[in-house]
Structure 1
Amino acid sequence: MSTESPVAVITGASSGIGEATARALAADGYRVALLARRADRLQALADELGGAALAIEADVTRRDSLVAAAERVQDTFGRVDVLVNNAGVMLLGPFSSEQRADYRQMIEVNLLGAITATEVFLEPLRADGGGDLINISSVAGRTARPTNGVYAATKWGINGWSESLRQELQPDVRVTVIEPGAVGTELTDHITHAATKEATEAFVKDLAIRPEDVAEIIAFAVTRPRRMTLNEILVRPTAQAG
């Protein structure tokens, strides 16, 4: 790695798609800033990737945490070429008052977290010829079904906001939305409604694609010539119907 190597900032980098994306981009010659709350897992990944990686404990629901992270990235790497808004939670369950804490957490992490991270990193992302903004949405950003209403709302919100940014930031920043179907990650581990958790785990187990599959798509998108943008990428497991 050199001081001219591009830099990618990845939220939710301690597991799943974020962790796989860090490996994929590091393999492509990127220096990677790894942001998440689980500092021990971040540091283990950074140690694995060597001098190409910087582990930063950060919480996307706290703007001051993201500002501090941006300062560390700037001090260490001096630039930002890619921001991957990957941090997210999927707390599915029937719509009821019992789930209200889950609803607020999904909105704060999935939607407001991505918006705040983008606001904080936007200035360096637009500098030096422009960069790439990757927003991780979901098939749920196109379709909704029972038990995923608020989760779907956050992903529909990501899609609408991303389209607005695409028009506003071009050509300085290329905006790409990735909409995965079922992926084998830790998302299902945190579902608090027992019956929904069991059903979702069974569904994902039968057909999920791997985080590495999505990471490969992200790496492909950001390495396209600047004259073109892959604005929206929907990817489902071959066996997933909806």
Structure 2
Amino acid sequence: MALHDGKVAVVTGAARGIGAAVARELAARGMRLVLLGRELESLRKVANSLPGTSCCIEADVTDEASIQGSARSVAERLGPVSVVVANAGIAAAGSFATCDAALWNRVIEVNLIGSAVTARVFLPQLLQTRGYLLQVASTAAFGSAPMMSAYCASKAGVESFAQALRTEMEPEGVGVGIAYLHWTGTDMIDELEEHAVLRELRSRQPAPARRVHSAARVATLLVRGIERRAPTVYAPPWLRMTQPLRPVFPYLVARAARRSFARMSQDELHAPAGVLGAGGHADWDVHRPAAPTRPATPPQD
């Protein structure tokens, strides 16, 4: 797929990390970029670093009316999109029992429902251009990690969604790819390392599997996949070899977790759950339910 002729690409979650890095790679190949996310000032900083034409749209991927308006604006200003990278996502760390129900639900809403909204809204334009949608998933879909239940469930969900969508769209000439990412150097990973249980679980992975890959390197691999209209993209590439082993991953993860849990204190195991990364905090600060107010104390006679 030629990316050097002024075609239009939309990247969600483009304010930082993988989304910003993918935007830079696509812009370097001559695409006109639409950066979509929650943090307008951060989006503008990314846009100012890009060559060529780009625009920023502040929008919540779970708000379908807002994304519909964004899609109309893109079509009017730049023309129909040829590439959509559904990258927006948040994560929460901590046990299901201690995780605020609204936060757990919000992770599912952003990562899974937000991806479906993005696809639904931009599909008419992708049909027009016979374009390509890349859904960013994760190895979290391979073997669900404890203390990350919402994130793992959402990434397994987007994988299944994208697989179904790929088959539906193939006769229409629209390509759908799934990107499987492992440890990537973003602020989400930085905060994950501060969580004692997740840090311990990660330490039990084989050395090659613990390696953190830069967002720039991951973005290069993703854009190569976009150029090939690849059905699957692996970052790092060796993840492809692990696909046949997926049936045993849940067992291996559970076994490692039991060993880790046995070494940890109750305080560590029951630490309060919380959102990870600056992007997650920005979203949760908007959607966190307001604390209930206490009724005023009636005056005493």
Q: TM-score, normalised by structure 2?
A: 0.70
Question: Does the CA contact (< 8 Å) of 1:209 and 1:237 recur in 2?
Answer: no
1:186 paired residue number: 187
Q: Name the SS of the counterpart of 1:83 in structure 2.
A: strand
SS in 1 for 2:93: coil
Residue in structure 2 matched with residue 22 of structure 1 by the alignment: 23
Match of 2:150, as an amino acid?
A: V
Q: Is the partner of 1:98 in helix, strand or coil?
A: coil
For 1:202 and 1:186, locate their aligned partners in 2 and report how far apart those are by CA, in whole Å: 19
Deviation beyond 4 Å, 4+ runs, structure 1 = 196-204
Q: How do 1:1-242 residues align onto structure 2 when only pairs under 5 Å count?
A: 5-128=6-129, 130-171=130-171, 172-188=173-189, 194-196=195-197, 207-224=211-228, 229-236=229-236
1:98, distance to aligned residue in structure 2 (A): 3.4
In the TM superposition, residue 200 of structure 1 has moved relative to its aligned partner by 7.9
Deviation at 1:37, TM superposition (A): 0.7
Deviation at 1:197, TM superposition (A): 6.7
Partner-residue secondary structure (3-state), 1:84: strand
Percent of aligned positions that are identical = 33
Moved more, 7-16 or 101-110: 101-110
Q: 1:231 to 1:152 in 2, by over 3 A?
A: same
Q: Is the 8 A contact 1:46 1:53 kept in 2?
A: yes
Q: Secondary structure at the match of 1:118?
A: helix
State which structure, 1 or 2, has the greater radius of gyration over its C-alpha atoms: 2
5+ residue gaps, structure 2: 243-248, 250-301
- Residue 68 of structure 1: how far off its partner (Å): 1.7
Check whether the contact 2:8–2:80 (CA below 8 A) recurs between aligned residues: yes
Q: Which amino acid is the alignment partner of residue 59 of structure 1?
A: D
CA distance, structure 1, for counterparts of residue 169 and residue 222 of structure 2: 19
TM-score (norm 1): 0.86
Matched residue count: 232
Q: Secondary structure at the match of 1:91?
A: strand
Counterpart residue identity of residue 156, structure 1: A
Uncovered stretches (5+) of structure 1, i.e. residues with no partner = none
Aligned residues: CA RMSD: 2.6
Instruction: Kindly provide the amino acid, as one letter, of the partner of residue 121 in structure 1.
Output: F
For the residues of structure 1 that align with 2:170 and 2:179, how far apart are their CA atoms? 18
Q: Take 1:230 and 1:197, find their aligned partners in 2: how far apart are those partners? A: 32
SS across alignment from 1:33? strand
Q: Distance in 2 between matches of 1:196 and 1:156?
A: 22
